[in-house]
Structure 1
């Protein structure tokens, strides 16, 4: 953790100690802090991307199977704003259908367009080849406009893990006071690192959270492989995966008010720029 991150988290440290959480537990929790970038349509930060807009892809890139959400200019992201090994330039395009799948499959995708690539404008509605009206209404409610970046710090929002072969859950390993520490973070997050509709890196969040959404996404990816709906290799070890991006969708359309999309990717795939290997999991509370 950098000195700047520690300074920003000083109110969290002080509040946790004031609530009687032992200093050792607080320090171990602080050691999990990760940098992240929050993207919002307002604020003072630089414009680093857009919700919606024209869909620009290389001519040989297939039409994505999911609706177009946003594009990011990686060169415009603040330096060292995340701990993800992202390319230094080029554009990252995010696609998602913000609804939980009835079976195990990815609900979105990521396309990386290297800097200088020749692109052509594509049909933003190609994913809806059957012209479903309700789904088109949902897509039309996707946010539009520029995204401004603010560098933030992220702590876990989840407090427990499920153990294979055992019912229920237990506190995060090594953090017996995780429930109390998460409560402190939730009480102070708006002052320390206000959330935005889109986040790059950091920890995953959603409307109702208890265990790690990334772990849930990994389970779905593994089962998607077993069902023949996702290509191997896929690790079942959550530590091999990273949160690439979170989108708090919440469109003002009946049935999609509280959807959250989590794009996750294996560390080795991210390092190799295999963004086609990103997997999207959705929390949806219709």
Structure 2
């Protein structure tokens, strides 16, 4: 079964209608919210999922290019899964890097490396080609904050909590139906964590319109189409994601988002490692798209 079929089966067990499930799968992006803490303040019961800054622990044959700042290492096996699969593997480590200079998204300075489980890793003292150490980000521990959050493609502009989806009542009704029927249903919330794994990126700018009326129209067509053929959902959804963007490769989804201060020592924006849907579904992390918003 595909991840969408598994989620649909899970929701059906609690009586959630297929139409509601399709609308949720179409617009919702599952997220894991993570906090960063001073190592001295991490309690014995903290659920640690990785670290930010300091020296990276990485395989010997993985390059650490000079001019690239090591940002973070996520222990993916320590991150819980939720009912809606975010498509990120739960094995190995995800290493995040960024250029050491301030940048704009089109400069393409962000990169990621997925290290499979069982690959030997050791602490690296400095980037390849550097004769001595470089300035490092402050070492902080990543601690699980909320393992099951839903973000929404095309967030409305209002900031109130709980979120009111006045511009999309069908999606709002679908989410309410799920939350009323399924125990411990995820909270729908904008990213307010230091680190967000998946979810909907906070960069509103160019992408908000992509998930507007035309995207919702495709969703309602899919609602009808998958009533008798739920196996068609993934194909229809990926096609709509691609059509929603003017870019040839389709829109980019959030892989990981960090507070800017955890990437370049200072700043109050968000830095996003983004990934194309087909790369995410295939588990490829070597074509990261950079995002920044302040």
What interval of TM-score do these two structures reach, taking the shorter chain for normalisation?
A: 0.5 to 0.7
Say whether residues 1:73 and 2:85 are aligned partners: no
Q: Which residue of 2 aligns with 1:52?
A: 53
Q: Which residue of 2 aligns with 1:204?
A: 201
Cα gap change, 1:259/1:59 in structure 2, threshold over 3 Å: closer, same or farther? same
Q: What are the Cα deviations for residues 242-284 of structure 1, in whole angstroms up to 9, with x where unaligned?
A: 2111111236989x3223211111222233332122222333x
Relative to the length of structure 1, the TM-score reads 0.59
Q: Which residue of 1 aligns with 2:273?
A: 263
Q: Which residue of 1 aligns with 2:192?
A: 195
RMSD: 4.2
Taking the aligned partners of 1:279 and 1:273, their CA distance within structure 2 comes to 15
Q: Which residue of 1 aligns with 2:27?
A: 32
> For 1:243, which of 246, 254, 257 is the aligned residue?
254
SS in 2 for 1:148: strand
Q: Which residue of 2 aligns with 1:118?
A: 120
SS in 1 for 2:144: strand
SS in 2 for 1:153: strand
Q: Which residue of 1 aligns with 2:111?
A: 109
Matches within 5 A, 1:1-286: 32-41=27-36, 46-64=47-65, 65-80=67-82, 83-97=85-99, 100-101=102-103, 104-123=106-125, 125-126=126-127, 129=130, 136=135, 139-140=136-137, 142=138, 144-150=140-146, 151-156=148-153, 158=155, 181-183=156-158, 186-188=159-161, 193=189, 195-206=192-203, 209-212=204-207, 236-237=247-248, 239-250=250-261, 256-283=266-293
Q: What are the Cα deviations for residues 75-108 of structure 1, in whole angstroms up to 9, with x where unaligned?
A: 1111236643222310111112476536943121
SS in 2 for 1:36: strand
Cα gap change, 1:214/1:56 in structure 2, threshold over 3 Å: closer, same or farther? farther
Taking the aligned partners of 2:264 and 2:102, their CA distance within structure 1 comes to 16
Cα gap change, 1:70/1:81 in structure 2, threshold over 3 Å: closer, same or farther? farther
SS in 1 for 2:33: strand
Relative to the length of structure 2, the TM-score reads 0.57
The answer to whether the 8 Å contact 1:204/1:214 transfers is: no
Pairwise CA distance, 1:240: 5.0
Taking the aligned partners of 1:79 and 1:108, their CA distance within structure 2 comes to 25
SS in 2 for 1:269: helix
Q: How many residues align?
A: 211
The answer to whether the 8 Å contact 2:105/2:291 transfers is: no
